[in-house]
Amino acid sequence: MASNAPVGKPTDMSSPRLPKVAGIDSTVPAPPHTVAPLPGVPSAATPSDAALPPGVLIQDRLASWVSDLTTLHELTERLIKTDSLDGALREMLGAGAALVGARRGMAVLEPADGLGPTSTIGLGLAHADLGTIETVPRGSGSYGRLLDGLPEADPPGAGLPEADPPGSGLPGNSPAAPRRPARVPEPIAIRDVRTEEGLDPRHREVAARLGYAASYALPLATEEAGRLGAAVWLYDEPAEPDERRRHLIGLYGRFATEHLARLLQVERARARVATVTEELLPSRLPRVPGVRLAVRHLTGPQGGGDWYDALPLPEGALGLAVGSVSGTGPSALAAMGRLRASLRAYAVMEGEDPVAVLSDLELLLRLTEPARSATALFAYAEPAQRRIVLAGAGHAPPLVVGDHRTEFVETSLSAPLGMLTCWEAPSVELSPAPGETVLLYTDGLLRRTGDATDRAFARLHAAAASVPRADRSDPGAVADHVLRTLLPGGLDPAVEGEDVVLLAARFE
C-alpha cells in the first residue's frame, strides 16, 4: 500500500490511490459531482454539491450509504468465518487498516477480567517490532491508555444502599441490583507523533526507529462484553481518519469485539475441558526396567472419552491400557474417569489375566451405566521376559514396529464393553524382540484420517514402517512420526471428532 500523504483537514484523507476494500474497485473513476472515494467507502458530499439538483444529491448519498453497508457486510462476513482468536485478530487488523487508511498495526488481546488468554498480533510488523513497541510506557502509548483506562462493568449492587431502606420488608428481600454496563472510551488519534503533546520521549524514539508518524487506536470493547483489548493502526506520515472513516471503523470494531467475545468464551471452555481431561489421565508415565514408554494424547474442542493408562504391578510387571468411552463432553469425561479408575483396581487384583480384568469392567459398565458403551484393550507386560499377554473388547489391534518387522498383532474379535452377553474372546500372548516398539492406540487415530477403515489401517502400517531407523530407539520419536504421517495438519481443534491416543512401549 502506498504511504499516506500529509493532510491539512480530515477530508484530505480521501485518496483514489488507496487499494480496494472488500472487492470494491477503487480505480473506477468517480462521477464528476463527487470527489474520489475511499477504498470501498464513498466520500462525503463537498460544498460544490450545493449547486447540484436535489435529486442528484439524494441519489449520491443513497449510493454512498449502500456502498458503506456493502463494505461492512463483506468485511463482517469474512470476520465471522474465523474460528480462532488469532485468526479473528488478524482479520480485524487487515480490515481495519483498509478502513482507516493505514498500512501497519497491532492488536492486543487482554481481557479486563484477568482470566486470559492474552496475545499480541501484528500487521506489517515483525516480532521484534512488536517487542520494541511494548517498551513504550503504557501511559504514553495510545493502546496502553485504552487498556489501562477502560473500567470494568460495575459489580452487582454497586451504587445501591448497603442496608434495606425503611419499609422494604424483611432483610434481604430487596431486588437484585442490575449489572451496570462498562463505559467504553473514545478512540485515540495521534495525528503527528513528533508534535503531539504529553508523549513520552521513548514513544517518539520508537516511532522514529520503526518509521511511523501517526496512529489511530480503537478499544476492543462494548458495554456488555467489557474490555477485551485494543487495536492501533500506524501511519507512515502525519494523518488521521476523517469522520466517515471513524464511523465505519467504529461500527466494524463493535461487531469485531462481539465476535471476539464469543470466541473467547469458546477458547476458555476448551481450556477447561482440556484441563479436566489431563487431570483424569496419568500425570506421568512410570519407569519400569526393561521398557521405555511414551504417549501422545490429542483432544477435540469438547473433549472425548479416549484414555490411556500405565501402572506398575507386582513382581516388576506393567499394565498398559487404552480405551474409549462413547460420547463427548463432560459426561463422557466423567464416565472415562470412572472406567479408568475401575480398571486400575481390577488390574492390581488380577492383572495377570487380562480377560478377567475386562470381564469385571464389562460387568461394572453394564450395571452402572447401561446406556453407555466403551472399547478397551488391556495388556499385562513382563519387561524382563519381554512377554505380553493382552485382551481387547471392540478395540483395534496393537502394532509391533521393529527393524525386521512391522505387523499388527492378531487378536480375537470381540464386541465393545456394555454390548456383550458373555465373554468369549481369549487373550493373546506375544514376545517382542529387543528394540521393538508396541503401539497401542484408540480408534480416533484411524477415524481422524477420514479414510475407510481398511485404508486407515493400511496407512497406519505404512506410517509405522517408514519410521527412520535413527528414531526407532526412541518411543516418543516413533509416536511423533506416526502422527505426523497420518495427520500432517495435526488435530484441528475447531473440528468435532474423536480424541487420539497413541501409547508406545519399547522393549530393551
At 495 the pLDDT is 57
Distances, alpha carbon 247 to alpha carbons 68, 235, 243, 372, in Å = 10, 19, 6, 55
CB-CB contact of 130 with 93 (8 Å): no
At 425 the pLDDT is 66
How many C-beta neighbours within 10 Å does residue 262 have?
Answer: 12
pLDDT at 161 > cutoff 70 = no
CATH homologous superfamily, domain 10-151+182-271: GAF domain (3.30.450.40)
Task: Tell me which residue of 66, 61, 56 sits closest to 44, measured CA to CA.
Answer: 61
Q: pLDDT higher for 145 or 54? A: 145
pLDDT band at 167; cut points 50, 70, 90 = very low
Task: Assign domain 281-507 one CATH number from 2.40.10.170, 3.60.40.10, 2.160.10.10, 3.40.50.300.
Answer: 3.60.40.10
Kindly state the average pLDDT of the residues 15-44: 40
Q: What is the DSSP string of 226-289?
A: EEEEEEEEEESSS----HHHHHHHHHHHHHHHHHHHHHHHHHHHHHHHHHHHHHHS-SS---BT
One-letter amino acid identity for 40? Answer: G
pLDDT band at 365; cut points 50, 70, 90 = confident
Model confidence over 190-221: pLDDT tens digits?
999 999 988 899 999 999 999 999 999 999 99
For residues 424 and 177, what is the distance between their CA atoms, to the nearest angstrom?
64
Domain locations in the chain as residue ranges: 10-151+182-271, 281-507
Q: pLDDT higher for 384 or 61? A: 384
Global pTM? 0.64
pLDDT band at 40; cut points 50, 70, 90 = very low
Q: What percent of the chain has pLDDT over 70?
A: 79
Mean pLDDT estimate for the chain: 81
At 405 the pLDDT is 94
Spell out the residues 6+ positions from residue 169 whose beta carbon is closer than 8 angstroms to its own.
none
